[in-house]
Homo-oligomer: A and B are copies of this chain.
Amino acid sequence: MNKIIGILGGMGPVATIDTMEKIIKNTPAVCDQEHIPVIAVSFPDIPDRTANILTGGESTLNNMLVALKVLETAGAGCIIMPCNTAHYWYEKLKATTGIHFLNIIEITCNKIVNERINNIAILATTGTIKAGLYQDRLRKEKVDFVVPDDIQQKRVMESIFAYKSGDGERAYLLLESVITQLENMGVERFIMGCSEIPVILSHCDNKDRYIDATEELVKRAVEWFYFG
């Protein structure tokens, strides 16, 4: 059996597809057979991650463990989870498996630190922000970053839920308004720290201003496939 990338997905389903597209885009294949074997488990019934972080309630972890078990049994050799917020449970998930499990937050922060990127804003769910998933590492590395204020953050979250509800246009307008405000405050680069965000902004020009966490995660997974 060849090496297989396992996607612990469905959070949301479109972000899973975006991840699969990015795997293809980052693979130098000229026929089907040169592409990377992938198993995507897209179980969208995993309870909302932000709600679970903020208020407890229905367990998110148990559902993710079911999906992880499916990938493990199916023979995945490297797990990626294209949901930043779900990385709140990363250590617990990782502790249950012997499979190589990439961490989207760590990989994205590594890029920022290595490339000495500064004047960054974190665009992410309220769960990711409140849990400090990005901030802890960036603070430690003395990266100059901001998070949206409460009103802006509420709008980012509205944008993400609008997209998940099928209203891509509203999602784009809400997010773009926050981005413009932050740019006017001097922000130069934006972490797309929620896997819906690259999809919401997929028709956007000016790709250089974004650090796409999903893309960074996928690049590392493709490296794993080729180089171990």
Chain B residues near A54 (CB, 8 Å)? none
* Interface flag for A77 (CB, 8 Å): no
The interface residues of chain B lying within 8 Å CB-to-CB of A32 are 10-13, 44-46, 48, 164
So how many copies of this chain end up in the complex? 2
CB distance from A212 to the nearest CB of B (A): 18
| Cβ of A41 under 8 Å from chain B | yes
Residue of B nearest to A2 (CB): B45
User: How many angstroms from the CA of A45 to the CA of B27 in the assembled complex?
Assistant: 14
B37 touching A70, Cβ below 8 Å: no
Residues of B within 8 A of A39 (CB): 39-42, 70
**Assuming the A-B contacts A10-B32, A31-B164, are A40 and B40 also in contact, with contact meaning beta carbons closer than 8 angstroms in the complex?**
yes
CA distance A14 to B26 in the complex (A): 13
List chain A positions with a Cβ less than 8 A from chain B: 1-2, 4, 10-14, 16-17, 20-21, 23-24, 29-48, 66, 70, 73-75, 161, 164-166
The 8 closest A-B pairs by CB, nearest first: A35-B44, A12-B32, A40-B40, A30-B165, A38-B42, A32-B44, A70-B74, A13-B35
